[in-house]
């Protein structure tokens, strides 16, 4: 069939006829229309009201800034598995075969590639977590296996063992002669550690431990630990989010559907609805990247200093970030899958396995709802310290000033400011986040005090539970934004700094808009300002879309790591067809 005749010799009647128009559309898929190399910008200029030029980004500088300090060891992991097809996880594999493969992968990484994660658990946790991110990107199950061996089992010996235990076990843990785990959770109790019932009592006469499990509910059921595991999960969850966002954004740039009459089809990422799905998510991924790096740095500092105040700070921060980030990633995986249409459902494009493997992140190392309650409880403790003149830990220091500003009424003048310069001012953004947290903290403290008089402390807590969860999420978002703003300011390259500032602004304004009711209810934001925030957030999504390719490329994930044909950097469709047998 000569499709060129259909595309070049149409009559007006033909074009109005649905069947002929459909055939003509199909013919365009078979006979690509020549277009300029920079056709994306041409399309955007004709289809949007934006007048400003696309932000120019130095892609290499952005990539270097995002790489961090330990990229060398990550590349060693990527290169090793890329060179070993026998160790790459296939799309279809049974549970038993996958378990066996994970063990072979870890043994090969340690004994053949010479990567020794255990040394970094003790010497430099930041390198260990960078290694964990790389391994988890290769196969999430492998990342969990590595964490169980070195952080759970090895960490238990390091933190609880004497010199005798360390001399006996550490070398074997390091080289995998002694695979193991740390099991704490019982069938009936997990989050309530004080409710655990199994007791091990050492009998010096027989040189044995006597294990007393009083009932079936006290059977050891899951493996798990506390702070270190939560840091690793928050960090690993961001790596999962990066993989899914890279696949979804690259596919959305590649995929073309519909367009103006007699013009080529446009990328689906040029549709405002698609930008609304993916661009705030891309901004959040960047925000989480910097926040979890901050968490890892604090955790490393804590392990070196053993400072009690820092221990409490890291405990609360790791609980909050683990809960917030893993919940966000779980929801985002479904959005990314849907953003890729039917091709996102194909097993080879990985969203199904990513969702299945990541789903457990929301409940192991602490149920997310319980962890957020811990954050809320710590906030209330800090609130009490503030009014008693005590010292606040570093993460909570902002409460001292913002609580004072909360006690005064919002400024009716600034509540109406709607200029772009004002809305993109980091001070306005951070003040808004901190004001919201302070207001929620003040109001829930009043409610708890009121209800405790009739319901008792436990009943009052339960009555205010949803309020407390919202408070915890608000605080974590405040910490995330603060660290994002700091990272933007610390970037030495002007081009990269401008790109990061754009992404940071989108993150901040999107979050403010999503909770605009809170700000409107107390007149912190007037109606005209709320409208301006919404309009600017939409525009920033469009601006971020213009540099979306550079932003996802800066995550520096090789094709052999993302492994989804539709997320390839080039020849995505041909590789997709090759995989399914064409």
Q: Which residues are catalytic?
A: 365
**Residue showing tokens 């602490």:** 366
Residues 6+ apart with CB under 8 A from 509: 423, 424, 429, 533, 536, 537, 540
Q: Does residue 224 have a known ligand-binding role?
A: yes
Give the 3-state secondary structure of 472-493: HHHHHHHHHHHHHHHHHHHCCC
Q: In 314-454, where do the E strands start and end?
A: none
**DSSP H or E run through 265:** none
DSSP 8-state secondary structure symbol assigned to residue 24: H
**482 within 8 A of 430, measured Cβ to Cβ:** yes
Classify 412 as helix, strand or coil.
coil
Could you give the CA distance from residue 524 to residue 401 in angstroms, rounded to a whole number? 17
Instruction: Spell out the SS3 assignment of 558-571.
Output: CHHHHCCHHHCCCC
> What is the spatial distance between Cα 285 and Cα 472, in angstroms, rounded to a whole number?
20
For 210, phi then psi, to 5°, come to: -100, 115
Q: How far apart are CA 235 and CA 250, in angstroms?
A: 23
- Angle value at C-alpha 438, between 436 and 441, nearest 5 degrees: 110
The token pair at 38 is: 């920079």
Q: What is the DSSP letter of 256?
A: B
Number of C-beta neighbours around residue 419 at 10 A: 11
CB contact burial 315-343 (16+ within 10 A = b; e otherwise): bbbbbbbbbbbbbbbbebbeebbebbeeb
Structural contact between residues 40 and 54, judged by C-beta atoms closer than 8 angstroms: no
Is residue 220 helix, strand or coil? strand
Residue 166 backbone phi and psi in degrees, to 5: -65, -40
The CB-side HSE value for 54 (13 A sphere, CA atoms) comes to 18
Q: Which residues are annotated as a binding site for FAD?
A: 185, 224
Binding residues are: 185, 224
């Amino acid at each position: 069939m000569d499709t060129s005749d259909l595309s070049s010799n149409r009559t007006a009647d033909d074009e109005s006829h649905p069947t002929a128009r459909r055939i003509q559309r199909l013919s365009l898929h078979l006979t690509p229309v020549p277009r300029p190399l920079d056709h994306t910008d041409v399309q955007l200029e004709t289809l949007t009201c934006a007048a400003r030029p696309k932000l120019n980004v130095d892609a290499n500088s952005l990539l270097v800034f995002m790489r961090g300090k330990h990229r060398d060891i990550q590349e060693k992991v990527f290169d090793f598995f890329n060179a070993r097809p026998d160790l790459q996880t296939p799309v279809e594999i049974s549970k038993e075969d996958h378990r066996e493969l994970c063990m072979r992968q870890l043994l090969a990484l340690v004994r053949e590639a010479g990567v020794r994660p255990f040394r970094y658990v003790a010497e430099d946790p930041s390198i260990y977590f960078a290694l964990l991110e790389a391994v988890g990107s290769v196969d999430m199950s492998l990342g969990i296996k590595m964490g169980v061996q070195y952080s759970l089992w090895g960490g238990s010996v390091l933190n609880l063992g004497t010199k005798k235990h360390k001399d006996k076990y550490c070398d074997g843990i390091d080289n995998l002669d002694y695979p193991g785990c740390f099991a704490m959770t019982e069938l009936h109790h997990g989050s309530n550690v004080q409710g655990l019932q199994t007791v091990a009592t050492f009998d010096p006469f027989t040189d044995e431990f006597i294990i007393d499990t009083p009932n079936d509910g006290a059977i050891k059921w899951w493996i798990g630990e506390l702070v270190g595991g939560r840091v690793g999960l928050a960090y690993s969850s961001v790596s999962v989010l990066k993989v899914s966002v890279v696949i979804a954004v690259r596919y959305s740039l590649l995929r073309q559907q519909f367009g103006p009459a007699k013009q080529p089809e446009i990328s689906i990422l040029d549709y405002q609805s698609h930008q609304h799905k993916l661009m705030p998510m891309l901004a959040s991924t960047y925000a989480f990247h910097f926040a979890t790096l901050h968490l890892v740095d604090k955790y490393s500092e804590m392990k070196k200093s053993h400072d009690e105040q820092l221990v409490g700070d890291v405990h609360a921060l790791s609980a909050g970030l683990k809960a917030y980030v893993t919940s966000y990633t779980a929801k985002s995986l479904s959005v990314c899958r849907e953003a890729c249409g039917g091709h996102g459902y194909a097993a080879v494009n990985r969203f199904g396995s990513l969702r299945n493997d990541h789903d457990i992140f929301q409940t192991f190392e602490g149920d997310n709802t319980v962890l957020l309650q811990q954050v809320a409880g710590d906030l209330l403790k800090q609130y009490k310290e503030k009014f008693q003149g005590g010292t606040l830990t570093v993460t909570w220091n902002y409460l001292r000033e913002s609580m004072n500003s909360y006690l005064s009424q919002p400024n009716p003048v600034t509540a109406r400011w709607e200029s772009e310069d004002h809305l993109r001012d980091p001070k306005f953004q951070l003040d808004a986040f901190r004001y919201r947290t302070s207001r929620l903290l003040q109001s829930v403290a009043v409610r708890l005090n009121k209800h405790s008089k009739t319901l008792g402390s436990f009943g009052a807590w339960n009555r205010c539970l949803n309020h407390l969860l919202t408070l915890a999420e608000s605080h974590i978002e405040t910490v995330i934004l603060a660290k994002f703003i700091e990272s933007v300011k610390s970037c030495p390259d002007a081009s990269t700094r401008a790109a990061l500032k754009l992404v940071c602004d989108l993150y901040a304004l999107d979050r403010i808009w999503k909770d605009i009711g809170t700000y409107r209810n107390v007149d912190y934001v007037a109606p005209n300002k709320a409208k301006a925030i919404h309009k600017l957030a939409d525009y920033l999504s469009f601006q971020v879309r213009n540099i979306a390719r550079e932003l996802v490329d800066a995550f520096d994930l090789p094709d052999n790591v993302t492994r989804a044909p539709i997320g390839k950097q080039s020849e995505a469709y041909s590789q997709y067809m090759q995989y399914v047998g064409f």
